[in-house]
Chain A
Amino acid sequence: MAMHRYQLLYQLVLGDFRERTRRYSYLLTMLGALFFGYLVITGKYTVQFSDYRSIYNSEWFGTMMAVTCGMMFSIAGFYLVKNSISRDRRTQVGQIIASTPLSNLEYIFAKFVSNFLVLLSMVAVLAVIAFLMLLFRNESGSVDLWAFSLPFLLLSLPAMALVAAAAVFFDTVKWLRGSLGNVLYLFMAEIFLVMGMMRTISLDLAGNNLFIEGVKAGLAEAYPGVKVGLQMGFIGLVEDIRMEGTNTFVWKGIDWSPETVSLRFVWIGLAIVVLLLTLPFFDRFDPAGLKQPAKRKKAVLPKVENVGNEQISNIVSSYSQISVVDAAFSFVAMIRAEFSLMVKGFHWSWYLIAAGILAAQLVVPFDIARMYITPLAMVWPLLIWSAMGNRETRFGTGELLFSSPMPFKRQFPSVWLAGLFVALAAVGTMVMRSIIAGQWSYAMALLIGAFFVSSLALAFGTISGSKKLFEVIYLMFWYVGSVDHVPVLDLLGTTAEAVTITKMLVLGLLTVGLLTAAGMARRRQVYGC
């Protein structure tokens, strides 16, 4: 009996959902979400309005968790779900699907739904945690299930719908599938979240502004004329939160006026628009749509090639005709091989810009080079570093390499050294200039930063088997620390305040820890233990 269209879609969504929720990365993200829930329960992550707070009631817990879900999964969730179409492409399951009657719209829609369900499953876990908190710490005397649930329905769901659709879009458009898309999305999401906090209601994806303004309105009602400062984030990690003695008020939740509700539906509409925009980019897994056959520049004719001092004929018909080479391992050759593998495959403009950045480090005034050019030099090779340690997993060359002699002692350190060489090349000029200028501590900070970044890349790449983890975490560090110049997160010492002995020691220790973790992960891959 022929399967109905909707049954086909249902099976596709179900299969995809099962596949994804049984993956290690899902488990890790879920554990991360649970840990985050723990931080919220213990007050490490909180929202505070000076000495004032709402009583702990259904509206407060529901809204706070729904907003944090929107913020957290707008980034982490995207990277978790943005691989479904790529996986179909890589495993060639896509070509099987392409040969079925399933339309492009149905396929794209099914992928969106399964992305959405994966994200919702994580929101659901945090919603359960929030509900348990409500039961244990409720100060209102009653539980209003509707008031608790509404923020999840109206804040989290639309946000997750847009994230799910964006993941489908970025996973479909050819030039957004890889690292460029990962980086671009991170910046876009940051803009949305920051603008959302800054009263820009039209960009308030997670519902941050609604939450903050709603609480402020409740506060103004209870304490007319009071002025408060807002703190939101991991405040409890660095200072004690005073749970007793704060001035409380009863917050009745977000005012869900028709206008507010309809603004939330705009995000769902936007998600649909994004999905529709995806359609023209979907090539239905046609390999011809991915790459054109390599153009032959000239006819290939039998030829005689010079190799060393000898000429070899290209007619080899028997193995016995082939010269035997004695093996003699060379670390230099291995590092060179890893380095050339790392830097292959970029567009010529990438190398040109890299050369421009290095030249700029040499000629621009020292302080400008320190604050602006060096951070640029340390983000330009992002895609080189993010491929470290996971290339064997991503391309399936593990068995070929791990059956070579001493892969753990030879190839693995070579990857790190090649990555370190890139980092040292990025900061080398500034290290020399700072030594000449007598700024030894800055020179040391740059060198430690180079060691740290290459080790971080190797560890994250080896452990996760993917480029994404390093790209996202390092970019956040880089942006907040070295571009926004927040000293504690500044790995490159762009300001004098960012260069401290303590930080250098911590980074040095972390480098050793990361290398140890990377080594353990690779050892497990090579030896299975």
Chain B
Amino acid sequence: MFDHQACPVGEKFISATSYLPNRLLKGTCFISLSALCELTGSTDLQLDIRGLGKRYKGDVWGLKDFNLSIGAGVIGLLGPNGAGKSTLMRILATVTRPTEGQALWNGTEITDAPNDVRKILGYLPQDFGIYPNLNAVEFLTYLAAARGIGGTAATKRINQLLELVNLGDARKRKLGSLSGGMKQRVGIAQALLNDPQLLIVDEPTAGLDPEERIRFRNLLTELAGERIVILSSHIVSDIEAAANSIAIINKGHLLIHATPEELLQTVEGKVWETVIPESEMDALKKTHVIGNAGRTSEGVRVRVIGDRQPRSDARSVNPSIEDAYLLALDTDRNGHGDA
């Protein structure tokens, strides 16, 4: 079985589920380890964020002194509501001006030359609208015109993109009659209209059914090799599956930027599972970070994150990205892993 650690340094693991269909289509029968790994950082794409800050009315900072360097690949942004993920994405998408700091696309300041970025940008905002009287092809043709893409070649690409997002059959239906998930897929298609080098997607899987979520995650993985993909999601499993680096954000600050492996190391040996009486839950919450919990006939089965073993009968379990995320947030709030 292949896993992330099997890839050599500087190469990225491509999940078998996304990789196999392509290779099989092309007639490749023998899958080697190297075929499932792809060079990362092989292109010159670079996005540098230096001391970025955004102040809103009432002296509220949505983002403050934010620093991050991103190369080709998928970076996942994780953080609670109001952490500053969407603010960061809107600044990078040239929709919002930062109050301070810089964002450099291949050395060029985004604020000074927003159109340089817009030419290579694909952006899916968290909340976006559609024109209900247009169908998907008409809507994408309109947005393509705004991006300088037209003609029969554009029409062909639009149709192909709609097939890719599984909307081929619905391409002539008015957007006003589509479901939320279908509209979201139209949004994904519009973000790919200009074959972007920088793809920014804010909560792209919101409203998608499980099958479409997997399809989209695989698409992101496929896209990652030749471009920078910035993915924000509350769904940790989406980030875990698609991202080759993860940035955890809280209160407008970057807490940690690391590979999934490095993140897992931060909670190695700190995740426990135990069954406790319900009456002990409150006491445990005061001393440890609590992950998933569920009722059983013996009490509450609870996942606990902390340096210390919570109870003598607690057993150590394999950590997950979600555990690392919870620990990072707790450390930021309380200054230490245990509450």
Contact = CB atoms under 8 A, between A and B. Distances in A.
B197 to A, nearest CB: 12
Contact of B194 (A302, A317, A327, A337): A327
Contacts of A21: none
A529 B97 CA distance: 9
B111 to A, nearest CB: 9
B176 interface: yes
Contact of A401 (B127, B143, B156, B176): B143
A337 B145 contact: yes
Contacts of A319: 164, 192, 219, 222-223
Contacts of B115: 405-406
A310 interface: yes
Interface stretch (B27-35, B146-154, B271-279): B146-154
B133 A344 contact: yes
A312 B133 contact: no
Contact of B130 (A291, A323, A395, A410): A395
A291 B141 CA distance: 25
Contacts of B151: 325
Interface in A317-338: 317-325, 327-330, 333-334, 336-338
A528 interface: yes
Contact of B118 (A325, A344, A405, A529): A405
B119 interface: yes
A373 B258 CA distance: 70
B21 interface: yes
A314 B165 CA distance: 11
Contacts of B176: 291
Nearest to B22: A318
Contact of B128 (A308, A400, A405): A400
A352 interface: no
Interface string A88-108: 000000000000000000000
Interface in B175-229: 176-177, 190, 192, 194-195, 219, 222-223
Contact of B129 (A320, A321, A397): A397
A312 B156 contact: yes
A296 B164 CA distance: 22
Given A312-B156, A319-B164, A400 B131 contact: no
A294 B173 CA distance: 8
A302 B166 CA distance: 12
B146 A404 contact: yes
Contacts of A314: 159, 163, 168
Interface string A501-517: 00000000000000000
A396 interface: yes
A294 B147 CA distance: 30
A400 B125 contact: yes
Interface stretch (B69-77, B87-95, B262-270): B87-95
A528 B94 CA distance: 10
A471 B147 CA distance: 31
B148 A405 contact: yes
A337 B159 contact: no
A327 B133 CA distance: 26
B83 interface: no
Contacts of A320: 22, 222
Contact of B153 (A318, A323, A528): A323
B160 A322 contact: yes
Given A319-B222, A405-B147, A396 B118 contact: no
A529 B94 CA distance: 13
Q: Range of interface residues on chain A? A: 35 or more
A527 interface: yes
Nearest to B195: A324
A344 B174 CA distance: 11
B128 A330 contact: no
A17 interface: no
B330 interface: no
B283 interface: no
Nearest to B21: A317
A308 B152 contact: yes
Contacts of B125: 399-400
Contact of B160 (A316, A345, A404): A316
Given A318-B25, A323-B156, A341 B123 contact: no
B110 to A, nearest CB: 11
A340 interface: yes
A397 B131 CA distance: 8
A410 B129 CA distance: 20
Contact of B143 (A318, A345, A395, A404): A404
B119 A322 contact: no
A307 B156 contact: yes
Contact of A291 (B25, B143, B177): B177
Contacts of B95: 399, 402-403
A411 interface: yes
Contacts of B142: 337-338, 340-341
A523 interface: no
Contact of B150 (A321, A322, A333, A395): A333
A325 B154 contact: yes
B280 interface: no
A19 interface: no
A305 interface: yes
Nearest to A329: B148
B155 interface: yes
A400 B190 CA distance: 9
A426 B25 CA distance: 56
Q: Which 5 A-B pairs have the closest CB atoms?
A: A396-B129, A329-B148, A345-B133, A308-B152, A316-B163
Given A310-B156, A314-B168, A320-B22, 8 more contacts: A316-B160, A317-B22, A321-B160, A325-B153, A337-B145, A338-B142, A399-B93, A404-B118
14 contacts: A291-B177, A300-B169, A305-B159, A307-B152, A308-B155, A312-B156, A319-B164, A320-B22, A324-B157, A325-B153, A333-B145, A341-B131, A391-B131, A405-B147
